[in-house]
Structures are given as structure tokens and as C-alpha cells.
A and B are shown apart, each in its own frame.
Chain A
């Protein structure tokens, strides 16, 4: 073995040449180590992670803008059948939609089914132990919209000064809408938790509905100075502000807020049929599509005594699609219940949104005139009747035309003949007459609101306002009495939806609803 012999040179020569090398190296490295340890442990820019540092660009600011637009679309019309969005959830809760679900022993343990049943019957306990998917997701999405809007506002202001300022205003407006919806839908005692500027988040206790409305007003007022080129964005903010004022009983201010909003204004959320992303597809109301099994309700018709005859009135503002009973593709869970429509009776979908990918009306200028009418009634002036009748004879009816006949449906039931007859509006609606007293006028106005804004998420706010602002008992406003012919249950007395129970379980500052009254 010669390796050892060959290494003997080391003994002779190494000492002089390497003397002190170790000391020098050690000293050098100790010096090197004196640099900031914080820099050594930095992992900024690691692959696959986008953190706040990576969002400080104009491009990222625009992406954040759309990151807020997305949940606005999502929360309004829903993403999946389990969400449903505000439109479907509030329609179930009010008289806009009737239950198409038979809660039986097999399906009842299923959280989704029981949740739907609870919504239809206005019985939503706070201490529910199963997560209500629709209630939970809409609450989360409203807050996601709120916080994403905040993020987007900060980014556009700081990093995208070249982008239109209308974008900033729009995000303030969307934040206002999210706060408004939170106050309209959920019980008083709403936690408005916040992402913090430096990172992290802070859980906050619940505040009253009115406090949330005040926060919404701040956002709408903050939005106004930014609007320059986009009147649609501006009108959306005006309508939002007006609606908040209305909810607070400030009728004159509400009318003032929308006086420049034209009657033919329409703000629609567009959706994409090709499903570029699932969040683009609103499945809120797919009865007219090829997935009728996703439909869990039918157009309401005198639901729970107080409900309006949306289906049977043949009002052109509620375009219908009549389905035969016992559709062959109905699943066992989502079948048409015999107690709702006796054998042989049709059930009704709405053609207000016949395409799954069709744009969906969020609000329209009609609501501005209706707000002015409401201010007039409350002020004791007479212009309200003129406003209502003008709308009935000349009002626009955008975005609801049925242009596709769904296979298997009874096309004879379409009411398009009424809609398209005449020019420039809806013809065939008889002029209204003054019922003679304020309460009756308000009832008449709110019926008009219900038809004009059917399936746009307004009905819950309207009914709740009747109870909260006008002091009408809830059992004279919301569906009440027996649940159709269903033998075991009656409608409950909820006028709002509790904050999801997970908030109680997770948010240490939250102690539950302050008030379940309207």
C-alpha cells in the first residue's frame, strides 16, 4: 500500500505554507458573520410565493382591482349550487322563491339540505353545529370583497397612478356594497374584522347594523371624488348610497343621492359561459338550463300568506318558464314536491336569467325613481303615484328577454307578448290608483319594488325595512303560517340571518348577534 508513503510529504511541507491559515479563515468568517442575521434568513422571493413585496407594481395593482371585482360577482350571483349568492339566498328567505325540496329522514342529516330547509322556513338558529354552506360562504365572500377592495384601493393609489381613478372609486363603492349587504342580510352584531397594513389581521367584535351602514356610507362618499369617466361606476355607487340611506330611514337624502341616476341605467354583472374559471359562472338559477336538478325552488306564489303572487299574476316583470312536473332528470333529492305542486301542476322557473352565462342585473335606474317615490310618500307629496305609473307605462325592462326556448318546457306560458308589445317600455300594466293612506301607499310601493326588482337581491332589504323602519310586524311582511301543505312545520319568525356560528367558534372577540330583531 503506497498511499501512506506518498502522503508523507505532508509532514514535511505543510506547516510553513499553511501556518496561520486557519486563524485567518476563522477570523474572516467571524467577521462575515457579523453582518445582519436578518439578511441571512430572508426567504423573500422564494418560488411559488407571492407576498406583499411582490405586489408593489402597477400590474399587480390592476390584478388586485380585478381581485375585488371577482368576489363581487361571486357573492352576488353565486359560484356553485352550494353558494347560490345573495340573490338566491335572500330569495329563499323571502317570498321570491318557494321551496322545491322535500326534507325527509334520509336527506335531513345532510347539512346542505337542512340549511335550505331552514332558509325556506325562516328558522335559522344561531347555535347550529353544522356549517351552513350558503350562509357561511356568502358571509365570507362579502368580507373577502370588502378586504380585497381595501387591498386594491391601497395598491392603485400607491403603485398605479396612471390607471383611471374611476377604478379606485369603484373599489370604494364595492366595499360599500359589501358592507350594505352584510347589514341587510345578517343580524345586528356584525364583526368587521380587518387585514392590517403591516401584515396579519385583527378580529373585531360585532357592531350594530346601523354602525355597518355608517361604514358603508363612508365608502360611498369616499368613492364619489374618483369618478370621472365611468358613469356606470358612479351610478352604482349612488344607488348603493341611496339604498343605505333608505335602510336608515333617511328618505329625502336617499332620493337626493339618486336624483341624477337615469331611469335606463342598468348595472349588470357579466358571466362567462365557457367557464374560464368556475367563479365566472353564476349558477344561481339554472332551471332554464340543462341542469334543472340544481334548481331547489320555484318562483314564489303567495308564499306563506304574505307572499306576492309572482307566478300567478302573469306580471310581465316576472318572466316565467313553465316546466312540466316530474322532470325526468330530477334527482331524488331535488324533486318537485307533490305538496308544492299537486300532480299535474307545472312549476315555474324564471326567465329573468335564462342563460347560465348571461349577465345578471345588480341594480337599475328604476330603483332611483322608486326611491324618489318613497321619499315623496314619506314627505306627504303626491309625486309618488306619477312616478310609479310612469314606470309602468314607459319604464325600461332591460336584460330579461327570453330568447332561448328550453327543451321540454311549455312555451305557451311565456309572457313575452306582454313585454314586447308597444314601444319603449312595458305595456299592459294598468295604472295604479292611490289607496288613500300612507300605510297602503307604502304597501303598494313595496309591491311595485318587488316586481320591478324581482330576483336582484333587494327583497330581503325591502321586507326588513318594512319591519325595521316602518314598524310593520314581521308576520305581516315575511312568509308566515304553515309551510304550504308540509304537515310538520310552520314558518319561523326570523327577519335576518345570524352570523355563521364559526365566527363564534373562531373569532375570540365575537359573542354572537346583538339583536335578532329586524
Chain B
């Protein structure tokens, strides 16, 4: 044995580590010749011999494998090493410091290899051993560091060859070095500690061609190379959030609609997220509540699937779930007065508070096939909104402004009356000569017609010119590793409702000339402010983060019955007189919502033993504070009204405050590897948690103090607070197998806990889908290859659920205070008593929707044309409905139990296509079109479930027209009693109330949702796309609407010209109950087919020389128009709006305040 000092320096040596993962240190005092250092792995792995083919290495390996047959007991380390190594004919050298190691060692593993023996002996000593061929072992103090002289690092940046942008999520594999990593946000990743040499790197990413490229690693240096991935010839390369992780659309077997909002906003006049969804995604139905500003819009994806649950999709912004509504007792009150609804769930949706200019893109996961991993509340689909993020480079400023006039239609059919006279007594005109008064003989018609269309006279009209304005600014920029983005926006809107001039003058005169406040004269208005800030940064080569905060504030006012007041004046019996009902105009309903959304995302992409790992954490809070006030000041209607029962005299306030917050945690981990050459497995697993807390305090009072919103002590009304909390937390996993980049198979499963599910109900939602790029197969006909770019077939299956309401399973009590004496109580006479309020239903299960989906996409002729076809079928079982309880359980008749009542099926298809029909520098023309069909029905009613057609929630028979859930019919179908016939029996020329025959049972009338919907979007580019013209049309068919205007006019037995026909008279007569005969609105339902000219935008890019004068980078001006025209068989004004929603899901139409036409302009400048 010898010390290293005695070694022949300069002697060629190959050192190889026996210690796992360690190579000779660069800090060693003795300068080993790194040229001969063998990679550790080459000794550790038998296969390495073949790689190098060097005989000396082979011998080395043989020496190390020789069996040791000695034992050492209580020896010093040097002697022990010498004994062991020499027993296999080897030699030992060491540095001097080993002599200072004074602990005694023992070794007795006979038959183990030399390698194992030395490793055992040196374990914990702080020394390590190397082999110098052919048989010399060198021992020195361990440093634990790699040798920069032996290894190097290489930074690989992968870019999209088409636009030179860094590509996220590219899998890079360096097989010879047994290393693999995935690129981060900027497309870069660094391989460290790679033994010097030349390697082949394989870069893979779905949607791009796989690239193999040689890289050279130089010892002690950090190299850098760039790999450019060519895009596969398809439009399916965009990355979507399909489940556990972002994937290329091509890889996912489900239909996922993506909206490039940033691009659309350049050319198309869009004012809300709802409008974006409605006009750009096949399969989505968006039905507006009314044409007033602030009116809620209901979004349905592939139709309704739930009777009583929320049929709205869930919304996720930058990974965080948000609350789409702030539904409070007061919201219902506020909106009930605004839009004429019955007050149930007609509240606003918060997604329309989001400025579309802040959005980069929207993805729509249409149903369980895609939304499975979102669990028990995702059966209606998921809408994922991604906001804009800053881009590295010089700071860019963009300012924009938009102004549009809101112009209401004046083409409402106006009411007319038939004049008459009283048969006896009162001489003169009877102004209420209608069928009822004719029937009972109280009015003898003269045949003269009285009529006045107030809409045509501005002084009398309750409709004025409104507007919507928005102003905004964006700034973004940053460096490669840290980018920022700031966005500000304000929107002001004034609705069309107006106190008619004649009324205003009259009231102001009565008040001694005191001017009315503007919120009384123009009761409908809204403004929204938004501010958003975001930072994206790279922490390490393999990790990044994002932090975002959005503040929003919206205010909406509606006036006291403002909109319904307008409507009643337009259609109602007061139509021949100036607007009356001052009490409709002396108060204000307002709603203010303050909103904060905070998101933090951390991503890490380490590697472990050749497997590229992924980990990410998303943490978010969405907080809303909602203030609703319905306020009629004391004395607000004096001196015009004097009754103390009039709220305008004594004052009234109905106010509520609600908070609504959603907390989100989503943790995802996973890894990807290629166990075989032809396949790659990407496994993701994780946990997702969201909790929504609602709290609502509200009360009302009358008899307010003068000038104050405070109530007098003895006039307190109701004060209540209520709360609601919903939470889900689930585990999920989702492996995807990529076979030769042609076939992608994904399976997934989420197991969910839910606040309303209970301990025993842990639903598991499975999914599987496949995507097959048929055009990549060898059998794909060559003759097709010449014009087909990509032909993909996909198929999918998935399940998701809708959780019951939070109290569905829980037995609940109420506490009351009152008189409790029972005649012999040893206790007090007054006190608290508890009563059961809900039995809870332990067996209520979440609604489970399973969906099958299949389809194909084809891009051809260099992607100038494309077609996407999807067919789907959804089966929802265990639909939940609040059902009346049987008396034997003892609940009050009004209490309900949530029960699983039946099955619902939805089916349909979606077809969309695009064509770049003209494509040259001077003119381009692109056409996007889609059509979809969605039909649903209650297919099965569970045994023992009360027939919905016979009993309402209180156990009563239904009477009159109903929106019902009935087996065999679409959800929330319209039912009415049939008008069987009529006859002018008495020959007086009128069909009075006695002369119609009405059926005794409810008959199906139609579905409130359109069966077909579609859209066509034309984009024309001129002057090298400097001038862009965009025109968008929407089509709906098969939507059954209730035309309340029509009915109102029949009230006056006239329809347009003169006395209405006998048929028209019969329709009205049937709508009035007469003795035992039921009333029916049979005649006033209409199945509508509608084509709407939804939007027209003309956008012009300001010439560069003018832009430079402004010291700007670019500028664009646009002329915008929305809702330009309607072609419809509907006899009313607007067939696509609803105001009389009976509940969250029954989207029935009614006396709708039509959507106004919007005309305006906008500009944006970027510096």
C-alpha cells in the first residue's frame, strides 16, 4: 500500500467512483487527469461496457467483482483496506489524512464483491475510493462535489419554429446521460452535471414534430443550444387545460372549444364574457334576462342536466374557482323589480363584470368527458378563463376607449281599446270595454278604437337613449425571468328606461319645481371598475411562479320597479294615458359588488432517475362583498300621494349585505417517461379543493326617519341572517399514453369528498378518451395526403356530478322564542322551542352525469379549411329535486326533502367549420360557422317519486300554465290547457268568456330552450389586413316563448287593425277563468326561429406614419355595432330574452325588454 504522494503523477488513469453518484472532486489536492475519469454510471451499470468497448474498463469491472474471502476485526482503516484489496490481488493507495482516522473497523461479509466490501468499509468514514486500472484502489477524503473538469452543463431552449416563441412543456430526453427534463415557461431548461461528451437530445411535444439533435457537453462549461420544433400541420396544436395538466389539444380526445379572446377583441365588438361565449362556441346557449343594462344572462352548455341544481358551468380564472353569482335574498328582491321576474334566482352573474380586454383566452370544457377531474360540481362543464400575462421585452402601454349608444326598438305593438258606453246610468265612454265587460253586459261597444303609441312620442315615451362606455389601459413588459402586467378598466352604462318627460314635469311642478334626482329620471344604470396586476417569474431553471390580484367593483341601479314599470306602461291598460304610477318611480334598487380575486401559482419541473417530473400548486381566493339596497325615502312621493300605507310617504328600506368567497387549492404532481421506444407515459395526480362560503344578513323596515335610511324603532320588519357553505375536495390521477405520437389514450379518475355528500358517499368519477391522428398512419391514402393536413378521430367518456345543496343530508332545526306553557310545565311560560325544519336525506346522492362523445376534425388545403364534428350523449342519473314529504314523517307541508328523482338525457351534435376562402395580400376572407343541436328530457322517473305533473312542492295540484318537469319531455317544458274551440253562440259578434272550450289537462306546448343554435362569422381583411370587417350572425330555432305582449293586447280585444278576429278574441277569452273553466295562455306561446345580426365591426389599423407622429407603436380605430337586426317568426320584439324566470333553470320567456341596438366606436393605441 502506498500514499498518493508516491503515485506516478501523469500516469494515465481512469478513475471510477465506487461511491454512488460521486465522482472525484475538483477540490482534491492531487490533480487527477480528468481525461481518464470514467463516468460513474459506466461502472455502475453492466451495459456500459458495450458503450465504451474499452478492455481496460472491462478488466476494472472484473476486479471490482471479485469475491472477497477475508474478515477484518477491530482494525484501523488503512490495514483493513489493505487486507481486503490485497486478498483479490489488488493494490491500495491513499492520501495521508486517512491515517488520522482513528476509529476501528470490522468487516466479515465473506463472499461479497470487492466493490461491496470497500463500500461497506468506507461507509460513514468520509472517505471514498477509486479504481486506477488495472487493479489499484485509490482512497481519499470525499468531497461530494462533481468535477467541473469532468462534467458540464447545457441549457436547451426550445422554440416554436413558426413564431420563434419559447415552448412550454417540451419533453427533452438525453438517453445516454439517463436524463430527462421538461421545459418551463420560457421554453428553457438546463441539464447539469452531464459528463462531457456528445449526446443526442430528443425533443417531443404534442402538436409538433419530434426533433433529434446532437449536443456537445464540454467539461466545466455551461453550453447553450436552441432547438426549433416545427408545428405539425394542424390547428390542433394549441395547449388546453383538459384535466390534470395542460396538454395539446391534439392529445385530448374531447371536444374543447377555445376562444382566442385577445385576437377577437381586435376586430369584433364584444362587450361581455357572455357574449363571447354565446357567439364563438357551438353548443352554448346564452339567454339574456332582458335588454336592460346589468341584466343577467344564463349560460347553458349542451342544455340543462339538472332539475334543481345549478345548471351553470363552473368558472375558473387562472386556475382558481370563482363565484359566478352573489345570490342573496336581496338580490332576488332587487332583480325581481328590475326585470319583471318572479324573483327567483334572477340575479346577476359576475363573469360579466370581467372586462374581456383582460382576457387572453377562454376554454370551454363542455361536459363530463372533459371536466371529470373537477369533480362533484362540474357536470355542466367548466369555463376556464386565462387572463393576459406580461411578455418579456420593452414595456408596452395600451390605452383604449369604447363608446356605444343603446337604442331601443320602438316597434312594440301598442295597445288599443274599444270604446263603449254603459248600458244604464253613467253616460259617456266606458274606457275599460273589453271582453269581460262585454260578457257581463257592463259595456256596450261602439266599435270605435282608441289607441296611442307613446313610444313614438319622445315626451311620453318611457324609453330613452342609453349608452355604454368603457376606458382601459394595459401595461406589460419585463425581462426574461420576470414579467409583469397591469390592467385597468372602467365601464359606464346607462339603460334605456326613462321617466317620461310629461311625468317628470308634472311631478316637479307638484314638488314646487324641485328637480328630480337623475337616478329617478334614469333608473337603470351600471358601472364597473376593474384593476388587475400580475407577475410571472422564473425562480430556478426548472421552476416558476405567477401571482395575480384582481380588484373589481360594480354598481347597478334599477329604480323602484323601473323596468317593469316601463313594461307595464308599454303594454298595459294605461297605454292610452301618460305613464301613471308615480310610485313606480320614487325609489331606487341598487346593488354594489366589491370583488377581489387573488391567485398564486408555483410550478416545478425537477427530474428524478431519468423521469421528468412536474409539480404545481395553485392557491386562490375569490371574495365578493355584495350590498343590496331597495330604498324609498320618506316623503319621496308627497305631495302626490298622501296615504300612510304608501311607502313613498313613510319610507321603506330593504337592505342586505352578503359575502361570498371561494377558496381554491389545487396541487398536481406527475412525471413522464418512455419505458419503451414507441410509447411515452405521462402520469399526473393531484388534489383539488374548493370551498364556497356565503353569508347574508338582511332586513327591512318601514316608517323611516325623514332624510335618513334608518328606521323608527317600532317599524322594524324582518331581520335575518343566513349562510351556506359548499366544499369539495378530491384526489385525482390521469395517466396518458402517447403511442408513436399518433394515438393518445388517457384515463382518469377523481374521488370526491363533498360537504353535502356525507362520510359514506365518496363518488368516483372515471373518464377515458382517445385521440387518433389517422392522417399520420401509413395506411392513410397517399391521394388524400396531398390536400388533407390532419385528420383526427376522437372518442371520450367521462363522468362528473352536481352536489346536493348543503342542507340536503342534514337534519336541521329552527329555534323560536314564544309562549311555551303547556298547562303544567315546571318550567317557564315563555322560552325557546326547537322544531325540526328539515329531515335531511341521508341517501341523497350527487347527480351523476356520464357522457359519451365522439367526433373528428379535419384540416385541409394547408389549413385553409377545417371541419369539426362532434356528437354527444349525456345521461344524468339521480337528478335531485326538492320533493314534498309524506305526512307520515311529520314535516310541515311546505318542507321538502332533496331526493334523487329520475334520469335525464341530453343528446345532440356540434358542427363547426372554417374556411379561409380568399387569401392574398390585398384581401382575405375567412368564414367561421357552427351549428349545434341539444335536446334533453326526463327519461325516467324513479319509483315512488311523485309525478311532477300532478303535484307541486306543496302537494297541491298544478293549475294554470306551468313550467314543469315531466317524464318524457324536456326539462322545464311549457304546459298549458288546450283551447279546444270557440263559437259565437249568442251571435253578438264577439267571443266572450262563455263561448270558449278549454281542456281539463295540461298539454305540452314546447321547450323553453332552442333546439338548434348556430352562428356565422365573416371576417374580411383588406389592405394587407389593415382594414378588417367582421360580421357575426346568430341563429336559434325551436325555442318556445310566451308572448306576454300579445296577451296584453288581446286584453283589449284588439289586434292592430280594428277589432281582432274571433280567433284572437277566443285566445284572450280563454286566458280568463270563468266559473269552473280554467284559464289558459294556450294561444300566446310561440315556437320561434330567429336569425340575429349580432355584431358588425369595422376596424382600421392607423397608418404607421401617423402612429409615429403620436410616438406610438400601433393604433387601431373601430366602428362597432351590435344587435343590428332580427329576422324571426316571433310576433313580439325579441324572442331571445327572458324576464319571467320561475326558477334558476326554467328559462321561460316573457314580457321581455328587448336587447337594445348598439352603435359606437372604439380606438386603441399601443406605445
Which residues of A line the B interface, CB within 8 A?
Answer: 1, 3-4, 7-8, 10-11, 14-15, 18-23, 25-27, 29-30, 33, 37-38, 40-43, 46-52, 54-55, 59-60, 62-64, 66-67, 69-73, 105-106, 109, 111, 129-131, 136-137, 139-148, 151, 164, 166-167, 170, 190-196, 198-201, 203-204, 229-230, 232-233, 267-272, 276-277, 279-280, 359, 499-500, 502-503, 505-508, 510
Contact = CB atoms under 8 A, between A and B. Distances in A.
10 contacts: A10-B537, A22-B602, A26-B667, A143-B887, A166-B826, A170-B822, A269-B822, A270-B819, A505-B955, A510-B886
A497 to B, nearest CB: 12
Q: Give the residue among A20, A166, A269, A505 with the most B Cβ atoms within 10 A.
A: A505
Contact of A52 (B811, B820, B841, B957): B811
Interface of B: 393-395, 477-482, 484, 537-545, 602-604, 606, 615-617, 665, 667, 669, 687, 689, 691, 693, 695, 720-731, 753-755, 757, 759, 806-807, 809-816, 818-827, 830-836, 839-843, 883-893, 897, 943-944, 946-947, 950-951, 954-957, 1075-1076
A193 B889 contact: yes
A61 to B, nearest CB: 9
Given A48-B720, A146-B890, 7 more contacts: A48-B721, A49-B807, A66-B827, A129-B957, A139-B888, A195-B836, A279-B818
A59 to B, nearest CB: 8
Contacts of A198: 842
A47 B722 CA distance: 6
Given A26-B669, A62-B831, A199-B811, A502 B884 contact: yes
A4 B393 contact: yes
Given A11-B480, A505-B946, A506-B883, A67 B729 contact: no
Contacts of B665: 29, 33
Most buried by B among A20, A63, A276, A279: A63
Contacts of B394: 1, 4
A63 B832 contact: yes
Nearest to A230: B824
Contacts of B883: 506
Contacts of A54: 813
Nearest to A69: B822
Nearest to A195: B839
B889 A143 contact: yes
Contact of B617 (A14, A25, A67, A166): A25
B666 to A, nearest CB: 10
A51 B813 contact: yes
Q: Which 3 A-B pairs have the closest CB atoms?
A: A508-B944, A200-B842, A47-B723
Nearest to A2: B395
Contact of B824 (A70, A267, A276, A499): A267
A229 B826 contact: yes
A16 B180 CA distance: 22
Contacts of B822: 66, 69, 72-73, 170, 269-270
A67 B956 CA distance: 27
B393, B819, B826, B1076 — which one has the most chain A CB atoms within 10 A of its CB? B819
B835 A49 contact: no
Contacts of B604: 22-23, 26
Contacts of A26: 602, 604, 615-617, 667, 669
A27 B819 CA distance: 59
A29 B616 CA distance: 10
Contact of A3 (B484, B753, B810, B816): B484
Given A131-B954, A201-B889, A503-B886, A195 B811 contact: yes
A140 B893 contact: yes
Contacts of B836: 67, 144, 147-148, 151, 195
A495 to B, nearest CB: 20
A277 B818 contact: yes
Contact of A11 (B481, B727, B730, B806): B481
A492 to B, nearest CB: 23
Contacts of A503: 886-888
Given A29-B617, A507-B886, A46 B725 contact: yes
Nearest to A509: B944
Nearest to B757: A41
B889 A147 contact: yes
A505 B537 CA distance: 63
A443 B1067 CA distance: 62
A20 B604 CA distance: 9
A37 B886 contact: no
A195 B890 CA distance: 9
Given A62-B827, A105-B1076, A41 B727 contact: yes
Contacts of A33: 665, 667, 687, 689
Contacts of A42: 727, 755
A47 B721 contact: yes
Contacts of A141: 890
Nearest to A190: B888
Contact of A23 (B481, B544, B606, B830): B606
Contacts of B723: 46-49
A43 B816 contact: no
A37 B888 contact: no
Contacts of A67: 813, 833-836
A392 B768 CA distance: 86
A261 to B, nearest CB: 14
A1 B390 CA distance: 15
Contact of A49 (B812, B821, B943): B812
Contacts of B820: 66, 69-70
Contact of B1075 (A40, A46, A106, A279): A106
Contact of A37 (B395, B731, B813, B830): B731
Contact of B891 (A144, A196, A199, A510): A144
A203 B886 contact: yes
Nearest to A47: B723
Contacts of A271: 819
Contacts of B542: 22
Contacts of A505: 946-947, 950-951, 955
B888 A23 contact: no
B540 A18 contact: yes
Contact of B539 (A21, A70, A272): A21
B124 to A, nearest CB: 26
A63 to B, nearest CB: 4
Contacts of A230: 824, 826
Nearest to A54: B813
A30 B731 CA distance: 11
A369 B884 CA distance: 44
A38 B888 contact: no
A200 B395 contact: no
Contact of A200 (B602, B725, B816, B843): B843
Given A67-B833, A148-B836, A7 B478 contact: yes
A339 to B, nearest CB: 23
B726 A43 contact: yes
Nearest to A10: B482
Contacts of B816: 277
A51 B812 CA distance: 5
Given A10-B482, A199-B842, A69 B886 contact: no
B833 A7 contact: no
A7 B482 contact: yes
A41 B758 CA distance: 10
A196 B889 CA distance: 11
Given A49-B810, A199-B809, A43 B727 contact: yes
Contacts of A43: 691, 725-727, 755, 806
A508 B943 contact: yes
Contacts of B728: 41
Q: Counting chain A CB atoms within 10 Å of each CB, which of B695, B809, B955 scores highest?
A: B955
B729 A40 contact: yes
Nearest to A280: B819
Contacts of B724: 46, 48
Contacts of A23: 543, 604, 606, 615
